[in-house]
Amino acid sequence: MAGPPARLVRTVAAVVVCLAVTSCGEDDTTGAAAPEPVLVEEGSLTVCTSLPYEPFEFRKDGEPVGFDIDLASQVAKELRLAPRIVNADFDAIQSGELLNDGRCDVAIAGMTITGDRARVVDFSSPYFNAAQAMVVGPGSGVSSLEDLGGLKIAVQSGTTGELYLTDNAPNDAEIVTFEDASDVDAALRDGEVTAAVYDNTVVGDVTARNPEFEVAAEFDTGEQYGMAVKKNGNVELLRTINAVLAQLDANGGYDELYRKWFGEAPTT
pLDDT, one tens digit per residue, over 157-211 is 999 999 999 999 999 999 999 998 899 999 999 999 999 999 998 998 999 999 9
Which domains, from first to last, does the chain contain? 6-28+35-127+226-262 (3.40.190.10), 131-222 (3.40.190.10)
| DSSP 3-state of 63 | strand
Q: Is the peptide bond before 55 cis (omega within 30 degrees of 0)?
A: yes
Cα distance between residue 200 and residue 1, in whole Å:
9
133 with 219: CB under 8 angstroms? yes
Q: Mean pLDDT in the chain? A: 88
- Supply the pLDDT for residue 31: 47
